[in-house]
A = this chain, B = another copy of it.
Amino acid sequence: MKSSRSLASLPRPVSESPHRVEPLPRLGAALQRAVARRVIGTLGDAPVAFLLPDGQEIRHGSGPPIARVVFRDAAALLRLIAISPELPFGDGYAAGRIDVEGDFQGLLDSAFAAPEPSDLLHRAAARWRTLRRRRNSLRGARENIHHHYDLGNDFYALWLDREMVYTCAYFTTPDASLEAAQLAKMEHVARKLRLSPGESVVEAGCGWGSLALYLARRYGVRVRAFNISAEQIAYARERARKEHLGDRIEFVEDDYRNVSGRYDAFVSVGMLEHVGPEHYADLSRVIDRSLTPDGRGLLHFIGRNRPREFSRWVQRRIFPGAYAPTLCEVGPVLEAADLAVLDVENLRLHYAKTLEHWLARFEAHRDEVAQRFDDAFVRAWRLYLAGSIAAFRTGTLQLFQIVFARARSNAVPWTRADLYAGAA
């Protein structure tokens, strides 16, 4: 066993138990080494070490390892030979059968920056993930959304900002606070929609209602906001009541596909990821029938440069039914209704920053989270948040805001200078 001097001085995680060094048949040891070498080679340029259950250490890259991945049992390691190792890695990490000492974030950043394998097997596996993705039928969507968003408002309140905004913030400067950045995001969205007092807005997927409340409060517009998360809607209604904004906002517990009425603006922040390409035509029809002739729309969503499914782990454990589209894949939503793209902005580094704030707050409350759920939940969410940071830092994921209007409408802004005029 090689010693890892660079990691020797790192504090051991509280949960770590002494490594079990069991006598193994020589074949088992060789197999573990082979699997470890194969997997460690996919983790990018950063120097990394794997500590195998029998005490063997495998190194990759030059220089002292930034992190050591500790496998508590052989099965947790051997499962990583899968075509999509993210699922066994995520489950192994959540269960504590795989641990990471050292720079967890750096390890993930390096792994996400590594070139994707694009051989036939991996392409077939990606295709399989597309086929297996849970579809967002009216009922399926409720189940998929319930899985993630109905974990309890108190849980989210532990680590979100005061406004309870669970989407990418907008940091006017990188050192802005999360609270300021979420308010700035809502202001940025409002400005992009060029709202006037008395206008009407429909929001598809309103979370805990923060944007609807902001628009009604600050821009004097009437808002109908849709969401199929029962817990979020209840929370949002209570906020509107407390703020005496009930006459201007209607929170509707229903699917975006059931939006009715005509509005001066259509806005959807962080819902498109849960729609799925199979239902973009539905969304297109909803937007088309909802917008007045001079209406404006904004879609804010996690996207990609190239078509890719989320990993099997994200699809199974975190966001069932979710899909992050390329701009081109979103095309049909707008094309079918002859809507003109006016403005696209990519805020991916803002999402990395948002997630850094969330992860730090989450870690600060991990004991409360563990009490409410369990350790496996804490570890899974740590991996989800840190993995998302890595995905946005490495350009694996993008955050797009698209502003659009009808093709024939000339009531469109002359320039974008107004978005940046004065303080937000």
Chain A residues at the B interface, C-beta cutoff of 8 Å = 113, 170-174, 305-307, 326-328, 331, 334-335, 338-346, 348-349, 393-396, 398, 400, 406-410, 412, 414-417, 419-421
Contacts and interface: CB of A to CB of B under 8 A. Distances in A.
A328 B402 CA distance: 13
Given A344-B343, A420-B417, A349 B407 contact: no
B335 A342 contact: no
Contacts of A393: 410
Given A305-B335, A420-B420, A327 B341 contact: yes
Contacts of A416: 345, 416, 419-420
Given A327-B327, A394-B407, A396-B407, 4 more contacts: A327-B331, A395-B410, A419-B420, A420-B420
A417 B398 CA distance: 20
A346 B340 contact: yes
Copies of the chain in the assembly: 2
Given A327-B327, A328-B328, A335-B328, A305 B340 contact: yes
A279 B70 CA distance: 50
Contact of A346 (B174, B307, B342, B395): B342
- Tell which of A341, A396, A415 has the most Cβ of chain B within 10 Å: A415
A151 to B, nearest CB: 32
10 contacts: A172-B415, A305-B338, A306-B338, A328-B328, A340-B395, A342-B345, A343-B345, A343-B346, A349-B410, A395-B409
Q: Which 7 A-B pairs have the closest CB atoms?
A: A328-B331, A395-B407, A344-B344, A328-B328, A420-B420, A417-B420, A342-B346
Contacts of A349: 410, 412, 414
Nearest to A412: B349
Contact of A407 (B173, B305, B344): B305
Nearest to A396: B407
Which of A171, A393, A394, A407 gathers the greatest number of chain B CB atoms within 10 Å?
A407
A2 B213 CA distance: 61
A415 B348 CA distance: 11
B395 A408 contact: yes
A170 B417 CA distance: 12
A42 to B, nearest CB: 17
